[in-house]
Amino acid sequence: MSLDQTFITNSSWKPDLFKGKVVFVTGGAGTICRVQTEALVLLGANAAIVGRNKEKTDAAAIEISKLRKDAKVISCPNTDVRKVQSIVEAVNKTIKELGRIDFVIAGAAGNFLADFNHLSSNAFKSVVDIDLLGSFNTVKATFVELRKNKGAILFVSATLHYYGVPFQIHVGAAKAGVDALSNALAVELGPIGIRSNVIAPGLVDGTEGMDRLLTTSKSNAQTKIPLQRLATTRDIAEATVFLFSPAASYITGTVQVVDGAAWHLGSTKKDEYPVLIKQKNEETVTKL
């Protein structure tokens, strides 16, 4: 669900809340990070959309730029977050065209379902490289601008590492690292005015991740969430606006979970355990 002008008229935020600010977004062409960016742009910010796929990244930048008549939204395609120099090139383009960077959303991520027996070392490394190393590289490349502008960082994490989730070992390990990275950065960078926080979405309706990973019906998934509904991309965007806003100027080193309290009930995949897990692990060939 993309946002439009009605977000300004029916939200709690001032229309020019982020006027003059620039947000640098890895994974900005994806579903969740795109709507995060749309909210910031509608509230006055300019943006750099950073991604690997040129067609998707270019299209997202053009479409988001149409949300506000004076918006400047640039595309930084062919950027690989696993390579810090690749992000540096995107940062240099952003500064050249938009003049500054105030906010960073580290949202590039990879995911797929795989049990340990079939999860290769290379596949595990690939997710850790994108999610964790990519997050580190993103902050490393934008650090000078963040220091200059006393900016703020927001990592997009998950709740998978709060408990044992089958088929998500790789993602849980990577996201646990992202949370630890943010906590350490909040402590180290706080004295120079940089804030670092994490947003941890639960099941978000209409996203590629949910479509790929949800192994039960939506209605069944909703019954396991205390608020009795799936999250929307707007729910994540609203939390993002708050964490970047002056209202959160004393908030750093936190993890904002946006999941309707679902994680308190444990894994949504627990119905599959232990029969399916036992079956997978009894297969004779372990993938290396």
Quick: pLDDT tens for 128-141: 999 999 999 999 99
Query: Looking at residue 118, what is its pLDDT?
Result: 92
Instruction: Average the pLDDT over 182-200 and give the result.
Output: 98
pLDDT band at 265 (very low <50, low <70, confident <90, very high): confident
The answer to whether 17 and 40 are in contact (CB under 8 A) is no
Lowest-confidence segment of 107-111, 193-197, 242-246 by average pLDDT: 107-111
pLDDT band at 213 (very low <50, low <70, confident <90, very high): low
157 is catalytic: yes
Q: Which amino acid is at 216?
A: T
**Structurally, how many domains does the chain consist of?**
1
Rounded-to-integer distance, Cα 123 and Cα 82, Å: 14
Query: Looking at residue 216, what is its pLDDT?
Result: 67
Residue 55 lies in a domain: yes
In percent, the amount of the chain with pLDDT more than 70 equals 90
Query: Looking at residue 276, what is its pLDDT?
Result: 62
The answer to whether 40 and 25 are in contact (CB under 8 A) is no
Residue 9 lies in a domain: no
Query: Looking at residue 258, what is its pLDDT?
Result: 97
Query: Looking at residue 161, what is its pLDDT?
Result: 94
Q: What 3 state SS string does the chain have?
A: CCCCCHHHHCCCCCCCCCCCCEEEEECCCCHHHHHHHHHHHHCCCEEEEECCCHHHHHHHHHHHHCCCCCCCEEEECCCCCCCHHHHHHHHHHHHHHHCCCCEEEECCCCCCCCCHHHCCHHHHHHHHHHHHHHHHHHHHHHHHHHHHHCCEEEEECCCHHHCCCCCCHHHHHHHHHHHHHHHHHHHHHHHHCCEEEEEEECCECCCHHHHHHCCCCHHHHHHCCCCCCCECHHHHHHHHHHHHCHHHCCCCCCEEEECCCHHHHCCCCHHHCCHHHHHHHHCCCCCC
In percent, the amount of the chain with pLDDT more than 90 equals 75
Rounded-to-integer distance, Cα 114 and Cα 120, Å: 9
pLDDT band at 274 (very low <50, low <70, confident <90, very high): low
Quick: pLDDT tens for 7-50: 888 888 998 999 999 999 999 999 999 999 999 999 999 999 99
pLDDT band at 285 (very low <50, low <70, confident <90, very high): low
Residue 5 lies in a domain: no
Give residue 260's Cα distance to chain centre.
18
Query: Looking at residue 8, what is its pLDDT?
Result: 81
Query: Looking at residue 212, what is its pLDDT?
Result: 65
How many beta carbons lie within 10 A of that of residue 209, not counting itself?
18
Residue 192 lies in a domain: yes
The arrangement of strands across the sheet holding 195-201 comes to: 73-76, 46-50, 22-26, 103-106, 152-156, 195-201, 255-258
Query: Looking at residue 277, what is its pLDDT?
Result: 61
pLDDT band at 272 (very low <50, low <70, confident <90, very high): low
Query: Looking at residue 190, what is its pLDDT?
Result: 98
Residue 2 lies in a domain: no
Instruction: Average the pLDDT over 60-72 and give the result.
Output: 97
Residue 7 lies in a domain: no
Rounded-to-integer distance, Cα 139 and Cα 189, Å: 11
Residue 210 lies in a domain: yes
Q: Which two tokens stand for residue 169?
A: 């070992």
Q: Which amino acid is at 268?
A: T
Catalytic residue among 157, 182, 196, 267: 157
pLDDT band at 252 (very low <50, low <70, confident <90, very high): very high
Catalytic residue among 65, 175, 182, 269: 175
- Could you list the residue range(s) of the whole structural domain that residue 46 is in? 14-282
Query: Looking at residue 214, what is its pLDDT?
Result: 67
CATH of the domain at 156: 3.40.50.720
> What mean pLDDT value characterizes the chain?
91
Of residues 65 and 12, the one with the higher pLDDT is 65
Residue 150 lies in a domain: yes
